[in-house]
Amino acid sequence: MDMKSLKFVGTSLNDLKKFPDQVRQIVGYQLHKVQTGQNPSDWKPMNTIGQGVKEIRVHLNNEYRVLYVATLPESVYVLHAFQKKTQKTRKQDLDIAANRYKEIAKQAR
């Protein structure tokens, strides 16, 4: 089975490390599924950020989100990891992910 490497963009790895242990474990499992070409258990497309960007959704005491793109051939790029405090995703979180998406899209050319 082919498995893509996992690359964390910007502060996404450090942000993810701040999640509670159980949430990190769930995210790790979901990212592993993505690396092997499967979809996470709970996700939604985030095309407003960039083509192929998806959001892993974890509901455990709070809401946690991990934005990634897996459409590039060599790796799965984790763009942003954050805790959601309201129903709507903050513009700041969307902007961070969008800027990181632009960075990797430039490198991929």
Give domain limits for the chain.
5-108
- Judged against a pLDDT cut of 80, whether residue 21 lies above it is answered with yes
The correct CATH number of 5-108 out of 3.30.2310.20, 3.80.30.20, 3.40.50.300, 3.30.300.250 is 3.30.2310.20
- For the stretch 20-25, contacts whose Cβ atoms lie closer than 8 Å and that sit 24 or more positions apart, written own/partner, are 20/60, 20/61, 22/60, 23/58, 23/60, 23/64
pTM over 0.85: yes
pLDDT digits (tens, 9 = 90+) for 70-105: 998 889 999 999 999 888 999 999 999 999 999 998
Q: Tell me which DSSP letter residue 81 carries.
A: E
Give the DSSP H or E segment for 78.
Answer: strand 75-84
Q: What is the pLDDT of residue 35?
A: 96
For 100, half-sphere exposure in the C-beta direction (CA atoms, 13 angstrom radius) is: 21
Q: Out of 43-47, 49-53, 84-88, 92-96, which region has the weakest mean confidence (pLDDT)?
A: 84-88
